[in-house]
Structure 1
Amino acid sequence: MMSRMDLWPKRLASAAEQRHTDGGWRQRPVLDEAAGLIDFAGNDYLGLAGDPRLAEAQAEGARRFGAGARASHLVSGHHAIHERLEQRLADLTGRPRALLFSTGYMANLGVLQALCDRHTRVFQDRLNHASLLDGARLAEAPSRRFHHRDLVDLERLLDRAPHDAPALVASDGVFSMDGDTADITGLANTCRRQGAWLMVDDAHGLGVLGEDGDGCVGRLHDHHQVPILVGTLGKALGSAGAFVAGDAALIDHLIQFARPYIYTTAQPPGVAAATLTALDILEQETERRDHLHQHIADFRREAARLGLPLTDSLTPIQPIVLGDNARVMRWAERLARAGLRVGAIRAPTVPRGQARLRITLSAAHDTPALDALLDSLDACRREEAS
């Protein structure tokens, strides 16, 4: 008879074997700047992560306030620089207040855990980010998933739900694997008719979309239309962390009840300083967004000419859906040999049969880099056809 102590190694080995069999075994790429690979896999949409002004601001913040915050926000880790950053983020998104979190994952967990319980009904887009799905599970809230961007299906689910229970609709703003955007106006109108609150995670829209880089929600939809807005700082803004923006009652509630906020050491002050500099650049150097959107248009035009299988994305996320795990890995390895790093995304991150190259564009790319990417993608296609 197998002892209890032997059950864990067997369990781990079985899971690893199945993941290998499915062709979905993940490995962490060790980044070596000397290797000279052009990155088309990250989320540094405005090219700010490597901007020396952010690095200097972070270093100066660390020199002034220390390398770490020393404690959680509610103990002694909330510095004046955090307060300044929260106000800037509230101003950017047109909300009364904002609250910093250490990561976007923790922000989504914190909101759903603090607001929802088993008496709450949560409705989520089928392609939402994993952190939104996990947040509902953490809250033990009954959760239904509506068809992707399907407002009719959402309305049907809301109609069938008990009308004496609070309802929360949650959606990505830009969907991280497909690159398409939610119909924020349609979601807001549906929620208004049904008496539900709307939560939007605009992680991939902030800094990229909107007239002022305020995202696909931002100032276009006020806090009455979208009461809960989540944004991240480690993508277009090039630093790290996340925030929730909304009215005073929401932010005060999160401070009191969001466990991922209460029981986590605050963001390092130097990171807050770097983010403030990123916000200055976002405001002053609008040509970065213009440059990025020109890249998107150029890439889509040329990729369509080559017959590559594009999705409907008009954002920096440009997936090429190849379907088969092995095919995706062949293309990714061929691109790596050409000096290009792209994301090879397979199940369970996307549904089976939807494996893809997740190509992301940045204002830091230049025309020769885009040409090299398109030439290599065309070479993959031609090699496969021969």
Structure 2
Amino acid sequence: MAILEKFAHLRGAYQELRSQGSDPFAVRFDRILSPTEGLRGSKRTILFGTNNYLGLTFDASCIEAGIDQLQQSGTGTTGSRIANGSYDGHTRLERELADYYGRAHGMVFTTGYQANLGIISTLVAKGDYLIIDADSHASIYDGARLGTAQVIRFRHNDPEDLRKRLARLPATGSKLIVVEGIYSMLGDAAPLREIAAVKAEAGAYLLVDEAHSLGVLGQKGRGLAEAAGVEDEVDFIVGTFSKTLGTIGGFCVSDLEDFDVLRVACRPYMFTASLPPSLVASTLQALKRLRTDPGLRARLRANSRRFHAGLEQLGFRLGSEPSPIVAVIQEDRDLAVAFWNRLLESGLYVNLALPPATPNGSAILRCSVSAAHSTQQIDTAIAMFAAVGEELGVLAPQPMAATG
């Protein structure tokens, strides 16, 4: 058998998807104009699929910090920190992250994916137990696959099922529970207070992936653990720079003693080239903006509520309470693909998520709201959803607004 023949089923599904219109896995923007707008050919397109929650990708101070460090330190490090050494920015970013979260230790990875891959696969080993939410992100599942601990899944956002599964485990071995602050597909938050209580009862450890909740939840924007008031019960917080902070990279913070031993135990950290100094500098400035400008979070919350309420009023089935992730659920896959294509043709870019990568086998038009979206852009996006929904028979025709 040819080496790629094993992917024949994927190739067939992909070709069928492309035959229905644009390729959702290869959307090309010829130019990005701002955090909320791009050009596809000559067509201006509103961006509602970028995770650019605070809109910091075009922040002047973040750009200036990156350019300055690019000129001072060059384009890259050309190796891992274990082999090539750390730059001042790497250690400063780790200190700033630890300080922001009120933790003793911080560790920076080259991507958010690697942060989960490395931390999860390293913390628990043979004889230990890794207990993960069934709807966990791919990076969490891949961390589980890379490690050697026994993996147990519990029902999504179900603390009682978690309790039952923990009760069945032997007293030996470490137990690590992994959940997410905000889940990336439906935008729902974990019941973290209840999960933290189960963790304490079982004598387990708790890791929270705050990738989509950093800068979104909590009085200081630290995420769900802060918002739920259970930061003291969370042993490890993992996150990414590629969403709220607008750059790339990942991190883990913790108070556990001997945390730094992970630097020589965690293979995805040891054997990956470290972040370029320019990206580190931009991330440091973005973190400063997050810490000193609460107005960014206020605008994000207001925009999220406005967009969610507008789609809800139209009659769409949505995935969760208002959050920056607004999932429009479609039961019919082909209808969802047609809907996504019509939105793109109209000048609105959202994400198309299809089974088996989605919860409950649903097709999802996944939208992400930014603090940088204007009220006009939000209302325009709602109107586009309404127009396509009527055209495809998803919505009943909307009544005409009164005039005169």
Deviation at 1:239, TM superposition (A): 1.1
TM-score (norm 2): 0.89
Q: What residue number does 1:81 align with?
A: 89
> Quick one: which of 39, 58, 66 aligns to 2:66?
58
Letter in 2 for 1:165: G
Q: What residue number does 1:110 align with?
A: 118
Checking the alignment, whether the CA contact within 8 Å between 2:192 and 2:228 is kept in structure 1 is no
CA distance in 1, matches of 2:324, 2:294: 16
Deviation at 1:222, TM superposition (A): 6.5
Letter in 2 for 1:296: S
Aligned pair in 2 of structure 1 residues 251, 64: CA closer, same or farther (>3 Å)? farther
Aligned pair in 2 of structure 1 residues 149, 111: CA closer, same or farther (>3 Å)? same
Q: What residue number does 2:104 align with?
A: 96
- SS for the counterpart of 2:300 is helix
> Quick one: which of 283, 287, 290 aligns to 1:275?
283
Aligned pair in 2 of structure 1 residues 329, 51: CA closer, same or farther (>3 Å)? same
CA distance in 1, matches of 2:258, 2:208: 14
Deviation at 1:300, TM superposition (A): 2.1
Q: Which runs of 4+ in 1 moved over 6 A?
A: 22-25
Question: How far does the alpha carbon of each residue in 1:99-148 deviate from its partner, in whole angstroms, 9 at most, with x for none?
Answer: 00011111111112211222111111111111111111111221111111
Question: How far does the alpha carbon of each residue in 1:167-206 deviate from its partner, in whole angstroms, 9 at most, with x for none?
Answer: 1110111100010111222111111100110011000000
Q: How does 1:1-386 map to 2 (within 5 A)?
A: 6-20=1-15, 27-33=25-31, 34-35=39-40, 36-218=44-226, 224-247=232-255, 249=257, 251-351=259-359, 353-385=361-393
User: Which moved further from structure 2: 43-52 or 75-84?
Assistant: 75-84
CA distance in 1, matches of 2:245, 2:355: 29
Q: Could you say what the CA RMSD is over the residues aligned between the two structures, in angstroms? A: 2.0
- 5+ residue gaps, structure 2: 32-38, 397-404
Checking the alignment, whether the CA contact within 8 Å between 2:320 and 2:327 is kept in structure 1 is no
Letter in 1 for 2:388: C
Question: How far does the alpha carbon of each residue in 1:224-244 deviate from its partner, in whole angstroms, 9 at most, with x for none?
Answer: 411111011110111110100
Checking the alignment, whether the CA contact within 8 Å between 1:99 and 1:251 is kept in structure 2 is no
- SS for the counterpart of 1:267 is coil
CA distance in 2, matches of 1:246, 1:82: 17
- SS for the counterpart of 1:249 is coil
Deviation at 1:13, TM superposition (A): 3.8
Deviation at 1:218, TM superposition (A): 4.3
Letter in 2 for 1:16: R
Letter in 1 for 2:12: E
Question: How far does the alpha carbon of each residue in 1:59-78 deviate from its partner, in whole angstroms, 9 at most, with x for none?
Answer: 11111122102321122231
Letter in 1 for 2:287: L
Letter in 2 for 1:8: I
Checking the alignment, whether the CA contact within 8 Å between 1:121 and 1:142 is kept in structure 2 is yes
TM-score (norm 1): 0.93
Checking the alignment, whether the CA contact within 8 Å between 1:342 and 1:358 is kept in structure 2 is yes
CA distance in 2, matches of 1:78, 1:161: 41
CA distance in 2, matches of 1:74, 1:295: 43
Alignment: residue pair count: 381
CA distance in 1, matches of 2:247, 2:260: 25
Deviation at 1:19, TM superposition (A): 4.6
Letter in 1 for 2:352: A
CA distance in 1, matches of 2:75, 2:45: 30
CA distance in 1, matches of 2:71, 2:256: 32
Deviation at 1:314, TM superposition (A): 2.5
Checking the alignment, whether the CA contact within 8 Å between 2:213 and 2:224 is kept in structure 1 is yes
CA distance in 1, matches of 2:196, 2:72: 43
Deviation at 1:18, TM superposition (A): 4.6
Checking the alignment, whether the CA contact within 8 Å between 1:223 and 1:247 is kept in structure 2 is no
- SS for the counterpart of 1:91 is helix
Aligned pair in 2 of structure 1 residues 349, 95: CA closer, same or farther (>3 Å)? same
Aligned pair in 2 of structure 1 residues 146, 67: CA closer, same or farther (>3 Å)? same
- SS for the counterpart of 1:244 is strand
- 5+ residue gaps, structure 1: 1-5
CA distance in 1, matches of 2:96, 2:347: 38
Question: How far does the alpha carbon of each residue in 1:10-35 deviate from its partner, in whole angstroms, 9 at most, with x for none?
Answer: 33445412554588986221122233
